[in-house]
Chains A and B, each alone.
Chain A
């Protein structure tokens, strides 16, 4: 019979991330990393955080969210907007980034709560439909939003940058479809890894606490959870807003890694939301470590396949299907159980005891 995973199990997850960081830092230091690949390091962190946070909604809460890129978008723009405004006021980039992070988390969580309050009360696939719409709406609103600042204060328009009516000393911060240009480059790989570890810390500890147990009870059987006095709406909303806040943090990391931030279908659209869902499904629903591995592989893969030029996406999809088949095949499951890290570790300790 299958035993429930022990808490010790997630030390392996932390270890894996730290090991990845050390190897990448060494490779970078010795110059063995191509510039293409080192440019992928922060995106790997961004997508891993997104995958882990979506796994909280899909795997732990058991609800389908198709607008995770929307929360990322909200977090990215709110934090980039803050950093642009405060560029000259707060010169310490670490402090500025820290405040930007908190803002992105709060704004994304706020949107999560606004969406969650009406929708999480419903049953079925309503959350998927509403979050899908939310992602698209946010992307389109950001694309027509013009915000500028001059000595009089903020000016907002949804027409164009001229109608902002800025004075001579004014500056356009969000320029519609061109987005935000000149965001300070405050994030790097180390910060990304730290944020990923924080995300893991929050999600894993949440899972193994009273609230996480309540959330998983709701996932397994809503009616039974209600019958033992668990407040369904409260815990669903809690898990969903934490998930949204973490996606906002990923957005902040993303925004501060690029000098130009604009909302395209490619980075904040429907495709991105589906991509994050693919990371979660491929890594295993409810499997946090799997999400990180899948996000890493699928972020690196398109770049590795660049040599195939036109056939790139074709090969990418074939690899994706092959990986899914492999993951679900009985042979692979048996192999994984036989050679899992946990099993190997416990074997070692056993042989030690014998000696």
Chain B
């Protein structure tokens, strides 16, 4: 049984059919790619999967549970975490606090315990610190833990966003153009990091990407989206050699 089952997903904005009849089935532990030209509707799909937009029709199932139409917060608690195309960090908080914000639901204590500094506060905060530092060290960010997130260099901000998403302990991780704006070296490093988190956390990953080298390097299967419709789907090598796909990218 697939971890993520999406069938017949579609959304209309007024008269515009942004995504139509989209379907994808991702197995547990898979690294899946979603590609397509600009404006194909890739991020719209992400926004529907995470509850930012309510799909007009279709069903999204995570681990056989229907999560269609749930709120973003609930969907995260069900087990989908994401990063954003344009980085969205808590810029004025420290790097450590960004990750600790991600631990918000798993490590809970009441506001009263927080204000009056009850023993539970110290106990939970300590556990949070340890867990957060452990995550940061995976991304080689542990030395920057005390810096404010807005002061990090671009590549590290991307990594921090992934670390924050992982802190929510998801079943499925959605990465929206993780390599956007990176140079070839940084992209290479990012590829390694994605492979690493996949192994270390046994994570299922769905990523949107423009960088063909990255996609062909790490994704096992792909879905190609064009004008809101699925153009091709299947093994990476087969899809990239599909004449329809080449036509969509390069023109005739």
A: which residues have CB within 8 A of B? 1-4, 201-202, 205-206, 209-214, 216-217, 219-221, 223-232, 238, 286
Contact = CB atoms under 8 A, between A and B. Distances in A.
A232 B88 CA distance: 16
Contact of A227 (B50, B108, B115): B50
A281 to B, nearest CB: 17
B88 A4 contact: no
A209 B167 CA distance: 17
B163 to A, nearest CB: 11
B137 interface: no
Given A209-B114, A209-B121, A210-B104, A229 B92 contact: no
A229 B115 contact: no
B88 A228 contact: no
A95 B246 CA distance: 81
A228 B115 contact: no
B168 A238 contact: no
A14 to B, nearest CB: 14
A342 to B, nearest CB: 14
Contacts of B105: 229
A228 B102 contact: yes
B227 interface: no
A247 B84 CA distance: 38
B56 interface: no
A230 B113 CA distance: 18
Given A4-B146, A210-B100, A210-B125, 9 more contacts: A1-B147, A4-B97, A205-B117, A206-B111, A209-B115, A214-B104, A220-B89, A221-B89, A228-B81
Nearest to B76: A229
A19 B203 CA distance: 55
B116 interface: yes
A229 B147 contact: no
A8 to B, nearest CB: 13
B111 A228 contact: no
Interface of B: 50, 52, 72-73, 76-77, 81-82, 84, 88-94, 97-98, 100-102, 104-105, 107-109, 111, 113-117, 121, 124-125, 128, 146-148, 151, 164-165, 167-168
Contacts of A223: 52, 84, 88
Main secondary structure of the interface of A (DSSP, over half): helix
Contacts of A2: 147-148, 151
Nearest to A234: B73
Contacts of B72: 226-227
A205 B115 contact: yes
A212 B92 CA distance: 13
Nearest to A231: B73
A229 B79 CA distance: 10
B168 A209 contact: no
Nearest to A201: B115
A202 B109 CA distance: 16
Contacts of B100: 210, 213
17 contacts: A1-B151, A3-B146, A206-B111, A209-B114, A210-B104, A210-B128, A213-B104, A214-B104, A217-B93, A220-B90, A226-B76, A228-B101, A228-B102, A228-B165, A228-B167, A229-B73, A238-B111
Contact of A210 (B76, B89, B109, B167): B109
B90 A212 contact: no
Contacts of A231: 73
Contact of B115 (A4, A202, A230): A202
A230 B93 contact: no
A228 B76 contact: yes
Interface centre among A210, A213, A217 (most CB of B within 10 A): A210
A101 B52 CA distance: 43
Contacts of B50: 227
Contacts of B76: 226-229
Contact of B111 (A209, A217, A221, A286): A209
Nearest to A229: B76
